[in-house]
Amino acid sequence: MSKNFSLRDLIARSGKTTSEVAQAVGVNPSTVRHWMRGLHAPHPSAARLMAAELGVSLEQVTSACAESATCRLSG
């Protein structure tokens, strides 16, 4: 992918639901929704798990997070 996608786009393109992503990462679905809205950022270990679940690179997940002005990777 050459274009930067939002986290919402990455999840939608994967065909997974937010609940499926949350379960794979080990968080509540509301946490994934917060990440999608840029309210919070995933811990780097959660970002790695999410990238694996979505079938994308860690860089794509962190880029998607960085698209939001309020989203900063924690940890």
pLDDT digits (tens, 9 = 90+) for 32-42: 999 998 888 89
- Indicate whether 71 belongs to any domain: no
Nearest in space to 31 (alpha carbons), one of 14, 13, 49: 49
Residue with tokens 């997070």: 65
- Indicate whether 2 belongs to any domain: no
Give the residue numbers spanning the domain of 25: 7-66
CATH number at residue 26: 1.10.260.40
Could you give the C-alpha distances from 68 to 15, 17, 23, 24, 61, in angstroms and in order?
22, 21, 23, 23, 12
- Indicate whether 19 belongs to any domain: yes
pTM here is 0.82
| Structural domains counted in the chain | 1
- Indicate whether 18 belongs to any domain: yes
CB-based contact 6:36 (threshold 8 Å): yes
- Indicate whether 31 belongs to any domain: yes
Point out the least confidently predicted range of 6-20, 24-38, 43-57, 61-75. 61-75
- Indicate whether 48 belongs to any domain: yes
